[in-house]
Amino acid sequence: MSKILSSGSKTNPRITPPVRPEYELPLEPLAHATSGEGLPVYNRLWQHTWIRKGLILFCLALLWEIAARLQGNELLLPPFSAAVKALVDDVASGVIPSRAFNSLDVLVKGYAIGVVLAFVLTSLAVSTQIGRDLLSTLTSMLNPLPPIALLPLALLWFGLGQGSLVFVLIHSVLWPLALNMYTGFTGVPETLRMTGRNYGLRGLRYVLLILVPAALPSIIAGLKIGWAFAWRTLIAAELVFGASSGKGGLGWYIFQNRNELYTDRVFAGLITVILFGLLVENVLFRQLEQRTVTKWGMAR
Amino acid sequence: MDGMTEFAPENFGPPAPPLLSVENVTLEYKTPGRVVRATQNVSFDVWEADRFILLGASGCGKSTLLKAVGGFIAPRKGRIVLDGRTIQGPGPDRVVVFQEFDQLPPWKTVRENVAFPMRASGRVGRKEAAERAEHYIEKVGLSRFADAYPNTLSGGMKQRVAIARALAMEPRVLLMDEPFAALDALTRRKMQEELLALWEEVRFTLLFVTHSIEEALVVGNRIALLSPHPGRMRAEINSHEWDLSSGGSSQFQAAANHIHRLLFEEAVAVDGANDE
């Protein structure tokens, strides 16, 4: 090996690149960058997320309609069109809006309290050793506990009112959100932390001005998970425990109509839950992400 | 021309007590399982408007030393004195420019990034912070990008923002931890040039960590050489006569070789002894 190399470089050059004349050029003037204007129409339409997602929803509805028509038993599976008709009727009569309002009322209360508690717990956890131990012990104890399993206790403590629903909702939001927030906080780069401390930031100001924005991708993920958990828990709790003092929510609406075999209305109730989910995910959270983490290049 | 007066005979020697004194500092940090000694009994003085370089191979504790001056690490022994006061913790009178690009909060535009520390530390009012930010962004040549977010900037531009942000704070000492090490060679050269031009104008006091002998000679007016494992003082050398134009000269090469010998000859001997 060494023999070949040395003989090649010293005495016997096999291929030598030619020596070419040098030249210098004045710089070409700047050309404007081309934009995507020239693309065909369908290509540009395809760039819109809502068109692509709308198409998916349309296909799902179509599949449902075909399956229901083929199966032909409205009690088991009413067609999509029947469910939509029941939905429109009950929205017009005001039943679904009032039920949805009852559900959202409880949901927002539980969610908000859960978010605040999660923030307090994780702020303690990033600033003190004992806070960290508290958070990790509590989450590992309580996160696997299904909220519905707490419902009997909640009923015992808070009675047949909104209180017990709010209690289980807090439980369902708090732990997954706290876990996500804490993971986000611990993932903040060391340099950024030192930068914050360099300017004399401490305590709550340090958490709010440095840690929260830096951990926002994880926090938003936690808020999304918490929101989904809260919906699930609420509908399930309403199914189990029914109307509270005559003010039933969507879960109660679904349960009642199933008892009376109005399957199309059961589906109307489910569609309402789904619509809220789509709305919150694609409008609220999407906007939040686009205005923050996407714009900042922290997420795509 | 301005630089000449400093070394005129009547001004020779220290005109006032040093701005920053590192006195017999021993630094240690914990890793899982053992305590690592980063520096041992290190002392040096930095005077106003110095461009003081900490130079050494990796493992000589120079970055740890800089962090201790920044107040992020407390010395195990000895003390660090700034303006006659012992340093207790991080503070806005010593602003650090790090090597990593993620030192800029990604949620703030260039303008906000530069103004943020002035507002956060409560030293400057809103209006003055905005004016100073404008001024220093212009100084580093980023006026066109003042409303851009850091994720759209190149590495060199991010470091310029960090420098503008640090200068806008008008700190007593500007601490730089290998600020150009993550940049490509062409950008690094340009940044060194710009840093020196800024110093000519503003006359800040600089404590600069690097592992490049050339960078040390060009950027600094005085160089402290540290030997590794743990960091101990090897020498202090004057380098005020070198600038970016002296790179190829034989005296410059001689100075570089001198530093190289000081840093590595003893280290090789010690390593060799350890091997046997």
Residues of A in contact with B117 (CB under 8 A): 198-199
What tens digit of pLDDT does each residue of B46-89 get?
888 889 999 988 878 888 899 999 888 888 888 898 888 888 88
Beta strands in chain B (DSSP E): 20-31, 34-46, 51-55, 77-82, 85-86, 94-97, 173-177, 206-210, 222-227, 232-238
Ramachandran region, residue B33 (left: φ > 0; alpha: ψ -120 to 50; beta: rest): left
Look at residues A215, A200, A199 and name the one whose alpha carbon lies nearest to residue A122: A215
Amino acid at A251: G
What is the predicted pLDDT for the residue at B6? Answer: 46
Do B105 and A216 make contact, defined as CB atoms within 8 angstroms? no
What tens digit of pLDDT does each residue of B136-155 get?
898 888 888 988 899 888 88
Instruction: Give the minimum alpha-carbon distance from A10 to chain B in angstroms, rounded to a whole number.
Output: 29
pTM to 2 decimal places: 0.79
Do A297 and B117 make contact, defined as CB atoms within 8 angstroms? no
Residues contacting A180, CB < 8 A, separation 6+: A218, A219, A221, A222, A225
Is residue B2's pLDDT more than 50?
A: no
The alpha carbons of chain B give a radius of gyration, in whole angstroms, of 19
Tokens of B261: 């010998």
Tokens of A107: 């949901």
A192 Cβ under 8 Å from any chain B Cβ: yes
Average pLDDT over residues B88-109: 89
What is the predicted pLDDT for the residue at A256? Answer: 86
Instruction: Give the minimum alpha-carbon distance from A198 to chain B in angstroms, rounded to a whole number.
Output: 5
Average pLDDT of chain A, as a whole number? 86
The alpha carbons of chain A give a radius of gyration, in whole angstroms, of 30
Tokens of B2: 């301005």
Q: Centre a 10 Å sphere on the Cβ of residue A52 and count the other Cβ atoms it contains.
A: 11
B59 Cβ under 8 Å from any chain A Cβ: no
Q: Which residue of A192, A200, A292 is in closest CB contact with B105?
A: A192
Is residue A282's pLDDT more than 60?
A: yes
**ipTM > 0.90, yes or no:** no
By the 10 Å C-beta count (0-12 exposed, 13-18 middle, 19+ buried), B193 is classed as middle
Mark which residues 105-134 of A lie under 8 Å from B by CB.
none
What is the predicted pLDDT for the residue at A220? Answer: 92
Contact by Cβ (8 Å): B94, B129: no
Interhelix angle A95-127/A129-142, rounded to 10 degrees, is: 140
Q: What percent of chain A shows pLDDT beyond 70?
A: 92
Is residue B15's pLDDT more than 80?
A: no
Q: Centre a 10 Å sphere on the Cβ of residue B237 and count the other Cβ atoms it contains.
A: 18
B147 Cβ under 8 Å from any chain A Cβ: no
pLDDT-derived band at A35 (thresholds 50, 70, 90) equals low
What tens digit of pLDDT does each residue of A48-94 get?
888 898 899 999 999 999 999 998 888 888 989 999 999 999 889 98
Look at residues A222, A298, A257 and name the one whose alpha carbon lies nearest to residue A78: A257
Residues contacting A16, CB < 8 A, separation 6+: none
Please give the helix or strand (H or E) that residue A157 lies within, else none. helix A147-158
Q: Centre a 10 Å sphere on the Cβ of residue B6 and count the other Cβ atoms it contains.
A: 12
Instruction: Give the minimum alpha-carbon distance from B209 to chain A in angstroms, rounded to a whole number.
Output: 16
Mean pLDDT is lowest, of A159-163, A167-171, A179-183, B21-25, for: A159-163
Q: Which residue of B70, B94, B102 is in closest CB contact with A189?
A: B102
Is residue A238's pLDDT more than 90?
A: no
Greatest mean pLDDT among A211-220, A242-251, B138-147: A211-220
pLDDT-derived band at B8 (thresholds 50, 70, 90) equals very low
What tens digit of pLDDT does each residue of B196-209 get?
888 888 888 999 99
Average pLDDT over residues A129-141: 91
Query: Which residues is B55 bridged to in the sheet?
Result: B210, B225
Do A195 and B70 make contact, defined as CB atoms within 8 angstroms? no
Do A194 and B96 make contact, defined as CB atoms within 8 angstroms? yes
A204 Cβ under 8 Å from any chain B Cβ: no
What is the predicted pLDDT for the residue at A225? Answer: 92
What is the predicted pLDDT for the residue at B250? Answer: 83
Instruction: Give the minimum alpha-carbon distance from B7 to chain A in angstroms, rounded to a whole number.
Output: 34
pLDDT-derived band at B1 (thresholds 50, 70, 90) equals very low
Residues contacting B5, CB < 8 A, separation 6+: B11
- The answer to whether the peptide bond before residue B230 is cis (omega within 30 degrees of 0) is yes
Do A296 and B95 make contact, defined as CB atoms within 8 angstroms? no
Q: What percent of chain B shows pLDDT beyond 90?
A: 8
Contact by Cβ (8 Å): B91, B170: no
Contact by Cβ (8 Å): B83, B45: no
By the 10 Å C-beta count (0-12 exposed, 13-18 middle, 19+ buried), A87 is classed as buried
What tens digit of pLDDT does each residue of A173-196 get?
999 999 999 999 999 998 999 998
- Render B39-81 in DSSP notation, one character per residue: EEEEEEEE-TT-EEEEE--TTSSHHHHHHHHHTSS--SEEEEE
Q: How far apart are CA B73 and CA B68, in angstroms?
A: 5
Do A297 and B72 make contact, defined as CB atoms within 8 angstroms? no
Q: Strand B51-55: give its sheet, edge to edge.
A: B94-97, B173-177, B206-210, B51-55, B222-227, B232-238
A296 Cβ under 8 Å from any chain B Cβ: yes
Instruction: Give the minimum alpha-carbon distance from A130 to chain B in angstroms, rounded to a whole number.
Output: 20
Q: How far apart are CA B151 and CA A43, in angstroms?
A: 28
Average pLDDT over residues A26-30: 82
Instruction: Give the minimum alpha-carbon distance from B182 to chain A in angstroms, rounded to a whole number.
Output: 14
Q: Which residue of B96, B107, B151 is in closest CB contact with A213?
A: B107
